[in-house]
Structure 1
Amino acid sequence: MKYLLTLISGVLTGLAMPGNLFSFFIWFSLVFFLRNIARSKTHYERLLHTIIYSSSMLVTTLWWLLPTLSKNIPQILKNYSSIVGFFGYVGMIILLMIPYLIIWLLSELYHRKDRQYNYLSLVFFYSFAYTVAEILRGFGDLAFMGGNLSYALYDHTGIIQIASIIGSFGLTFIIVFVNALIAFDNSRDKVFKILAIFTTIYISNFAIVRYLPPINGTNDSIKVGAVQTNVPQEIKYSSNPIQDYSTFSKNIEEFKNRDVDVVVFPESTFLEDISKSEIESQMVRDIQNLYKPVILGHPRIGNDNHFNSAWVYNPHGSIEGIYDKVKLTPFAEFLPYETIFGNFDVFRLLNYYTPGEDYLTFSLNETDIGVQICFETYFPEVAINQAKNGANLLIAISNDGWFNSKTGLFQHFSQGVFRAVETRRDFIQVSNTGLTGSIDKYGRITNIFESKEEKTGIFFVNPNDNISFYSKASDILKILFFIGALLLAIL
């Protein structure tokens, strides 16, 4: 029965994630898992609880990747079978589970036979240990941050304001802390305490939201023209640059008589490097006729290396700069740990890419912009480094056409909520099939397009030069979480 309850913990946690069911589950979803692992008598029991919880949580959170790997990609690219995609998904879940084993390892130190501990010690230890597990998920070639507890709070606009100080990992610590307060409380007035905790959470959230400044969208704002091209992957991956240019030209025409400061197209506007081609010459003429800066995505080839790049053109059609994606997607865009995963290149999309070296920013109309590409939005360090490098506005371009599920689309889009609050920068995502939208520096979604429709629109955003505390201290805070977990485990 106890293992079933741990499984329920994992499922409830996954159901709390953006696009799934109810975010408020996150405030009590870990209770069974925490209670069971703390009460376990043997190493193997604690290990089994950790495996059951992490696997069920990840599967429930990332279920939308299964049809992507086992159906969508093989049907379009025809480079592997559906059964290979299924086992690829299973392998991905196993790899993502590995960082959670730090909870088990630390708990082995903590629950040694001669250990004396009390209620608050348990609460703080598991809060630190779980947070460390999430931090570890951001390290190495297999880094992927989907499923972090904090992301369930995307709609808790008041509470997430603290992310500008302690980041999304700090929010995870608070979530585990609340769950642990409930899990390890054996007092008679436990029900009253639980009600008091939930009441405090939601009153605080409501009160903070009420005192946030109103959403600022005026003629003094930067006006970003966004293009959601909505080209299905089966068409995109069978098209040629001429067809891609036709889509570009048609959509840029939409802004000729509209007041915009910059126009943004998605990642993979073109599927090949069109630089120094006749297609680029035609595209440049369109930009010159519009006489506005344009940002778009297409691969770049340089010195025999392929890069997944965002190209920034000024109103004259000249290249203002190129950002090469730094945080590549494992297996799809590069092969991690080749000596181990040498036979896993079947999941490659078109080409393996070389990672970029710098988190560049671009100056357009006296506004410094940081451009991110696709799943880079899952990594706080990308937005933080761009803010430190002068970006006062963040724009992400993406091609999420692989995901037919709105859950997958929204989990990706909701990352912008946290990157906006952490850096106090307005954030825009422009995607091929969606979701395309804007988020202000307080994490409020100010505009969003429906997925799976071709649409253009104008988003009002406001640059901000102030560097948040979390942007300055994020690395130090990670170290402090590690130190806290280790000290609580061994002392």
Structure 2
Amino acid sequence: MRFSKFKLVLLALASGVLLALGWPTYGFPLLLFFAFVPLLLAERQLRLSEAKRKGLKIFGLSYLTFVIWNAITTSWLRFADLFGASFAVFVNAALMALIVLIYHKYAKRQSTNRALLFLVVLWISFEKLHLGWEFSWPWLNLGNGFSEYMSWIQWYEYTGTFGGTLWIWILNVLIFKGILSYQDDQSKRVLKSVLLKCAGLIIVPILISFAIYSSYTQEGETVNVIALQPNIDPYSEKYNMTNLNFAELFFELSDSKITDATDFVIAPETFLAESTPLSKFDNSLLKSKFDRYVKAHPNVNLLTGISFYDMFTDKSKIKKETNTYKFTANTWYDDYNAALLINSSNSVQQYNKSKLVVGIENFPYQDILKPILGDALIDLGGTVAMKTTQDYRGVFTASNSKFKVAPIICYESVYGEFVSGYVRNEANFLAIITNDAWWNETQGHKQHLSYAKLRAVETRRDIVRSANTGISAIINAKGEITSRLAYGEKGAVSGQIRTNDTITFYVMAGDYIARISIFILVFVGLIGFFRRKKETS
């Protein structure tokens, strides 16, 4: 089948629209199972044609597909920063298009089957890269696409989201090859065979998931929790209030739900937004206010986000993310987006956010980019300093020593293997504290909540989610939201969760599908690019 240039463009457009319409929290993920097929057909037609500059045309068509997908699904970023949103959309689309271009170069030298295998492992390896490098942006990793259909993917406790990515690509490859076979002989038998295989590959994993879903039970300690949702405008109100004001708001919201049985009260990311010197916190009026509240409720554990800084003149303390203090010579400071746990014990437990938002909390590849861009971090509500991280996934222990909570801060909740690190460090439930008000009433905060459900299934841990403005919620280990507060609503949500001390296969093995894919990619890539294709008669 031959396509005109116009039809090639239509195929690229179709892939972009199908990917977008298959995405949460508004789409239907069944579309993802064939969304790449039109683009693969366009690439094959160009590859087998006599057209000039094929590589450039393939890149252009692919770029069109992925700009559409990125723009429709993540254009909400513009509410935080137009430049940052544009960078995320156009650069991420370019990286995705580069994958198709590399596949195109490989497919010219190798058989269809080997080339498609190369494409699948290349894409999975790209998603793994997006989880780890300094320009990390895994929002559109394909396995996230099922986050509104948790009953389909209960087997994520074994595979993580890379199982979903592999599932999507297997179906796309099968449908693509089926179309090629049908074009060759126009046989209804071939068409029927492909349809049956596709139906089986979709239905069987879903049936397995339903079986896991219906049989799963959780037996653990009951934890009574409260998640606060202060609903403070981060663009104006939030950074104009003192921490003492926020402390009073904390107590006001908590008092609306607290009982003698309450174990945890959880407040959102940077709830205490006024930057506080780390060395002075223990003896501060702010700390004494929280201590008095705990004394009045001796069984309660208070978990909250706070902004800390630590200023110093000792060069030996300088870390990769340390900032230079511009107003005093030979002075530096670490800026922390932190979580605190305060309870009846004497010590305050602290965790520092370690998966940072690119361009907002983290300046990627400073050695290369800083000479070009200067200190051009995106201004997001006054947050313009590099944040200092920690390597260890800190877990907070309650005053009764039975409850161990993972203090997951905002963007960290998008990273499956990262979150599993808390569970390996004995967290028996998860707390996500976040501030989703930057994106207004868009898909941004809805997708962020939806992705949290993936972490519940991967780790089989209940989740308490406290959002400044967004959706505060309680999520069970099946990924079901059992209680929530609507966007823009001020208040608190309370409920019961259960602890869990079992370790899922995914928590033990991590992103093993991605690691296997990288190994296959290297092996198949070396064969494909450095071994000459055999001549055919």
Q: Normalising by structure 2, report the TM-score.
A: 0.81
Contact 1:393 1:425 in 2 (8 A): yes
Say yes or no: does 1:103 pair with 2:99. Answer: yes
Contact 2:239 2:274 in 1 (8 A): no
**Which moved further from structure 2: 128-137 or 345-354?**
345-354
In structure 1, the residue matched to 2:324 is none
| Structure 1 Cα separation of the partners of residues 197 and 485 of structure 2 | 38
| Structure 1 Cα separation of the partners of residues 28 and 270 of structure 2 | 33
Say yes or no: does 1:270 pair with 2:278. Answer: no
In structure 2, the residue matched to 1:183 is 176
Distance of aligned partners of 1:207 and 1:484 in 2 relative to their CA distance in 1, 3 Å threshold: closer
| Structure 2 Cα separation of the partners of residues 380 and 428 of structure 1 | 17
**Which moved further from structure 2: 382-391 or 213-222?**
213-222
Shift of 1:202: 4.4
In structure 1, the residue matched to 2:64 is 52
Letter in 2 for 1:117: T
Aligned counterpart for 1:426 among listed residues 446, 458, 462 = 462
Say yes or no: does 1:116 pair with 2:111. Answer: yes
Contact 1:165 1:422 in 2 (8 A): yes
Shift of 1:310: 0.3
Letter in 1 for 2:177: F
1:124-164 Cα offsets, whole Å, 9 max, x none, are 33322222221121122110111121112113323312222
Letter in 1 for 2:377: D
Distance of aligned partners of 1:219 and 1:260 in 2 relative to their CA distance in 1, 3 Å threshold: farther
Aligned counterpart for 2:40 among listed residues 27, 34, 43 = 34
3-state SS of paired residue (2:361): coil
CA RMSD between the two structures: 2.5
Distance of aligned partners of 1:360 and 1:219 in 2 relative to their CA distance in 1, 3 Å threshold: closer
In structure 2, the residue matched to 1:150 is 143
In structure 1, the residue matched to 2:376 is 344
Alignment of 1:13-412 (within 5 A): 13-41=19-47, 42-69=54-81, 85=82, 87-101=83-97, 103-104=99-100, 106-113=102-109, 115-118=110-113, 121=114, 123-186=116-179, 187=182, 188-189=187-188, 192=192, 193-194=194-195, 197-198=198-199, 201-202=202-203, 204-205=205-206, 208-209=209-210, 212-213=213-214, 220-233=221-234, 234-257=236-259, 259-274=261-276, 275=281, 276-291=283-298, 292-303=300-311, 304-315=333-344, 318-338=346-366, 339-340=368-369, 341-348=373-380, 349-352=382-385, 353-364=387-398, 365=400, 366-412=402-448
**Which moved further from structure 2: 19-28 or 207-216?**
207-216
Distance of aligned partners of 1:308 and 1:315 in 2 relative to their CA distance in 1, 3 Å threshold: same
Distance of aligned partners of 1:255 and 1:211 in 2 relative to their CA distance in 1, 3 Å threshold: same
Distance of aligned partners of 1:158 and 1:19 in 2 relative to their CA distance in 1, 3 Å threshold: closer
| Structure 2 Cα separation of the partners of residues 277 and 154 of structure 1 | 42
Contact 1:426 1:439 in 2 (8 A): yes
| Structure 2 Cα separation of the partners of residues 287 and 3 of structure 1 | 63
3-state SS of paired residue (1:441): coil
The answer for unaligned runs of 5 or more in structure 1 is 70-84
Letter in 2 for 1:96: N
| Structure 1 Cα separation of the partners of residues 211 and 100 of structure 2 | 41
Letter in 2 for 1:313: I
In structure 2, the residue matched to 1:417 is 453
The answer for unaligned runs of 5 or more in structure 2 is 1-6, 48-53, 312-332, 529-537
**Which moved further from structure 2: 439-448 or 428-437?**
439-448
Larger Rg: 2
Contact 1:447 1:459 in 2 (8 A): yes
1:228-272 Cα offsets, whole Å, 9 max, x none, are 111222221222223322211211222443532111111121112
| Structure 2 Cα separation of the partners of residues 132 and 156 of structure 1 | 25
Contact 1:295 1:311 in 2 (8 A): yes
Distance of aligned partners of 1:334 and 1:116 in 2 relative to their CA distance in 1, 3 Å threshold: closer
Letter in 2 for 1:100: M
| Structure 2 Cα separation of the partners of residues 371 and 354 of structure 1 | 16
| Structure 2 Cα separation of the partners of residues 313 and 286 of structure 1 | 10
In structure 1, the residue matched to 2:18 is 12
3-state SS of paired residue (1:345): coil
Distance of aligned partners of 1:169 and 1:476 in 2 relative to their CA distance in 1, 3 Å threshold: closer
Aligned length: 471
Shift of 1:181: 1.2
